[in-house]
Amino acid sequence: MKITDKATAHILVKATTNSEWDNCEFAIVHLSEEWKKEQAQRLELVKPFAEDYNFQSLNYYDTAVEFYRVDENDNPDIEEMLAGKEWVFVELNEEEQEAFTVPENRLDCYRLVMYRNGNAIYKAYGKHTSEEFWTEEFSLTSLIQPL
């Protein structure tokens, strides 16, 4: 996995969990053209709420994200790659991603939580524990630009 300044089909995002026994440090979001079109439509739906300070968020079931934990044996140095940022574009191949270590929880109920400012986070829950896993906030507007 290599960070890049160019828009790619994947972003690396900081992630965490409220689990006392499981770990999660990062997530990969897949930015297909279909995903971008869907987010553009969703951004239009949230626009009327831009000035409504009582509005919290819209939630969509969305599985374009995968959560991972750091394993010193086979994962890159995520903190170094992010260098103080919440997310970055990455060049990534399938073999690299398959080598990442997943959380011990079996994750379920993936959601995209979209805020009134056009930012979003991904959430997922442990299927049997209901523990939460979530990404840091990222800007949908900057991600829906053509590759």
Using alpha carbons only, give the angle 122, 131, 9 rounded to the nearest 5 degrees: 25
Cross-strand bridge partners of residue 14: 26
Q: What is the pLDDT of residue 11?
A: 97
Q: What is the pTM of this model?
A: 0.92
Q: What is the pLDDT along the chain (147 residues), one digit of tens a residue?
A: 899 999 999 999 999 999 999 999 999 999 999 999 999 999 999 999 999 999 999 999 999 999 999 887 666 688 888 988 999 999 998 888 888 999 999 999 999 999 999 999 999 999 999 999 999 999 999 999 764
Q: What is the pLDDT of residue 53?
A: 93
Q: What is the pLDDT of residue 76?
A: 67
Q: What is the pLDDT of residue 125?
A: 97
The residues spanned by each domain of the chain are 2-143
Give the C-alpha separation, 64 to 61, whole Å.
10
Q: What is the pLDDT of residue 109?
A: 96
Q: What pLDDT does residue 70 have?
A: 87
